[in-house]
Structure 1
Amino acid sequence: MALIDTSLLSFGEALSAAIGWTYFVAWSVSFYPQIILNYRRKSVEGLSIDFLVYNLYGFACYALFNTAFFFSRSIGDEYERRNNGHKNLVRFNDLFFSYHALILCLITLAQSFYYKRGPTQQASQTARMFFYSTLGGLVAVFLFSTVYSAVYFLSFIKLGCSLVKYIPQAWLNYRRKSTVGWSIHNIILDFTGGVLSFAQLILDAVRSGNITEALGNPVKFGMGLTSIAFDVMFLVQHYVLYTDRFDPSDLETQLQYQSNLNYGSTENSDAGSV
């Protein structure tokens, strides 16, 4: 019986590891299509600047959160004390993914300064308020509470970014009635990663014998559910609602749609978005 249990345990560990690295690959690769698309078009028109700001800020917080939980013994011990002896579920692939994502977010944001964009494509007042208010909150928690609380506050900033970052892009697509400039391959890969991340979290919690442990890592749990919901929305926008693929930054489509060269302009469509 012990042999069977050991075999099942080994299989569960192997399956969890395989799922973890698969979603790591899917999520990691998902950043590249947008970078490539921006490079090919030499333009970021159609891409929300608010989305880029939220993404960069969120992954900076996520990288710091994972670093603290992965390397700090005191943080790990505190987590175990607060969660009935259960170890935290931050793995090496989480750490590697967060820093990889942070670098690619920096590259994408840098493209928005280098390539063509609409005159009103800039970070909204809402995004700036979110940044300053949450950063101020982090400083306050660090000064008046414990380091553990400050680290956990980083996770909630990341979760907040994940909850709101797609809204400006979805609104931009709606106003333009177009998804031109927004890579659908990014969404397909992100959707795959979200499903697998959520599956791994539940699998690990079931294997540990404590299903509530799945809530012990609110970043992974929230990211998985949020990504799935928004990705479905973007897939509907791209494949159902806005199927015209005219791109004014692409010479081939300009020749195809000579009668409608201004379609898909982002002017006056990004500033002020949430």
Structure 2
Amino acid sequence: MIPVAANDVAFSFHAVLLTAFTLFQISIYDRGNQKVSKIALAIVSVSWLSVAVCVFVGIPKHSWLWIASCFNALQVAMTVTKYIPQAVMNFRRKSTIGFSIGNILLDLFGGLTNYGQMAVQSIDQNSWVNFYGNIGKTLLSLVSIFFDILFIVQHYVLYPSRKEVVSPNLDVEEPKGH
């Protein structure tokens, strides 16, 4: 049996609400010249196709646990997919300016407390089922913590904020006669 606590359900509900709110904002605010990339459309299309296949295969067999496992795998894959571009962009720019480290610190705290909760429950129940019974939750926390640490190292160690940053693509001309 997969251990699911009330806070797991609350976390999922919270994530769905915030995602819906973000999608609502995307739909109403002006995007100027920005267009959705072909790669993003492909990722979204493959994700929805995966959801459809999982649902259509799982529902007739009443394989709810298998469907939940498919969704867990998709969530872990999407988490990796969303973090990689930011890490690459930080690396290419050699900067994290404009990147909110506060959310990363909160995410790291959440991931670590999640592992703490699972450890306390495992000790209390004298079983490690909290870690291997819900592999999606375990992997999601592991991936998040890995990228959180990467972003923290990028922000504070590799590319610390400087007082004055000049973009390498800008040609700045000195005013003449002043």
TM-score interval w.r.t. the shorter chain?
Answer: 0.7 to 0.9
Matched, 1:193 2:105: no
Shift in Å at residue 111 of structure 1? Answer: 4.3
Judge conservation of contact 1:201–1:220 (CA < 8 Å) in 2: no
* Alpha-carbon distance in structure 2 between the residues aligned to 1:218 and 1:89: 11
Q: Secondary structure at the match of 2:92?
A: helix
C-alpha contact (below 8 Å) 1:191/1:228 kept by paired residues? yes
Shift of 1:163: 3.3
Which residue in 2 is equivalent to 1:62?
none
Does the Cα contact within 8 Å between 1:191 and 1:227 map onto a contact in 2?
Answer: yes
Change (3 A) 1:138 1:116: same
SS of 1:178's partner is coil
Give the letter aligned to residue 99 of structure 1: F
Distance 1:181 1:120 in 2: 21
Code of the residue aligned with 1:214 in structure 2: it is: F
**Other-structure match for 2:22:** 108
Which residue of 2 is the match for residue 147 of structure 1? 63
* C-alpha distance 217-150 of structure 1, shift in aligned 2 (>3 A): same
Aligned to 2:97, which of 174, 177, 180?
180
Tell me the CA shift for residue 233 of structure 1. 0.4
Give the equivalent residue in structure 1 for 2:143: 226
1:173, CA displacement in angstroms? 2.1
Q: Which has the higher contact order (CA 8 A, sep 6+)?
A: 1
SS in 2 for 1:165: helix
Q: Structure 2: give runs of 5+ residues left out of the alignment.
A: 171-178
Residue of structure 1 aligned with 2:44, choices 111, 122, 128: 128
Matches of 1:111 and 1:153 in 2, distance apart? 28
Return the alpha-carbon distance in structure 2 between the equivalents of residues 234 and 118 of structure 1: 29
**How far 1:228 moved relative to its partner?**
1.1
Q: Match of 2:116, as an amino acid? A: A
C-alpha displacement of 1:167:
1.1
Aligned residues: 167
Over the matched positions of the two proteins, sequence identity in percent amounts to: 32
User: Alpha-carbon deviation of 1:219?
Assistant: 2.3
Tell me if 1:164 matches 2:81: yes
Let me know the Cα RMSD of the aligned residues: 3.0
Match of 1:243 among 152, 157, 160: 160
Q: In 1, distance between residues paired with 2:109 and 2:95?
A: 23
SS at match of 2:160: coil
Post-superposition offset of 1:169:
1.7
Q: Please give the TM-score of this superposition, normalised by the length of structure 1.
A: 0.51
Contact 2:107 2:148 survives alignment (8 Å): yes
SS in 2 for 1:124: helix
Specify the code of the residue in structure 2 equivalent to 1:217: N
The residue identity in structure 1 corresponding to 2:47 is: F
Tell me the TM-score normalized by structure 2: 0.74
- Aligned position for 1:69: none
Q: In the aligned structure 2, how far is the partner of 1:183 from the partner of 1:192?
A: 15
Instruction: Look up the match of 1:95.
Output: 9
